Amino acid sequence: MNKAIELQDLGHKDYKQTWDYQEDLFKGIVGDKIKNRREEAGLQTKNYFLFVEHPHVYTLGKSGDLSNLLLDENQLAKKGATFYKINRGGDITYHGPGQIVGYPILDLENFFTDIHKYLRLLEEMIILTLAEYGLKAERSPGETGVWLDVGTPFARKICAMGVRASRWVTMHGFALNVNADLGYFDNIIPCGIRGKAVTSLNVELGKKTVDEAEVKTKLLNHFTTLFGAHFITE
């Protein structure tokens, strides 16, 4: 089993271009798995982990409700935002500057074959990272992602998650608000959940900005421990 993961930081990149790139990597891994099963080719499947920051964009998962987007095409244009209906799970979410987006594209057969466990470990990575900043983050029963003050009137989401998996290969991932402009969340019903707020790490810490490179390092450290993996760069 290959537990090496190729780490790529794509910087600031258009959502559709990144989605297409994810699909290419995903199809490459699936293609190798099909060859192995049909031809006993003995190919070692690859794993990838992409960091990216997107321009303002709203994405709607395959089970999502379009009415949770509160803007029409003209209003989207005025906000400088785009919209895509995509093939991950979950409802609607926002991506934009100041947000760390991570896309693990893994062959889970290199690790474990359990999608529920995969999502819980991604959440745990976020929870452990936020604990390093003195925040008690939690899961919210029945709601994927990571929250603060669960079970109180002040519950607020700090990290959204939505994944796709086929033949045990994953794509899409998580979006952690670090220095995000939270005003953009006012234009949607985030994840289709009414009456709950969204927050960002800098807001919680009372800082103008938080060092995003530092946050990424902490995320990767926890990911390697949780998944028993190691990262390589090109």
pLDDT, tens digit, 9 for 90 and up, residues 50-105: 999 999 999 988 878 888 899 988 999 999 999 999 888 778 889 999 999 999 99
Confidence of residue 7 (pLDDT cuts 50, 70, 90): very high
Instruction: Look over the chain and give the mean of its residue pLDDT values, rounded to a whole number.
Output: 93
Binding residues: 88-95, 160-162, 173-175
- How many whole angstroms separate alpha carbon 23 and alpha carbon 142? 28
Is residue 194 scored above 60 in pLDDT?
no
Active site residues: 191
In angstroms, the Cα distances linking 164 to 61, 62, 136, 178 are 10, 10, 28, 24
Say whether pTM exceeds 0.85. yes
The mean per-residue pLDDT over the stretch 158-182 comes to 95
Output the six-digit token pair for 202: 């800098």
Range in 29-38, 129-138, 222-231 with the lowest mean pLDDT: 29-38
Is residue 182 scored above 90 in pLDDT?
yes
User: Which domains occur in the chain, in start order?
Assistant: 53-100+112-226 (3.30.930.10)
Q: Are 157 and 198 in contact (CB under 8 A)?
A: yes
User: DSSP E strands: which ranges in the chain?
Assistant: 4-12, 48-53, 57-60, 82-85, 92-95, 99-105, 137-140, 143-148, 156-166, 169-177, 197-198, 230-232
Binding residues for substrate: 88-95, 160-162, 173-175
Confidence of residue 191 (pLDDT cuts 50, 70, 90): low
pLDDT number for residue 190: 62
Which positions ≥6 away from 166 have C-beta within 8 Å? 26, 30
pLDDT number for residue 192: 53
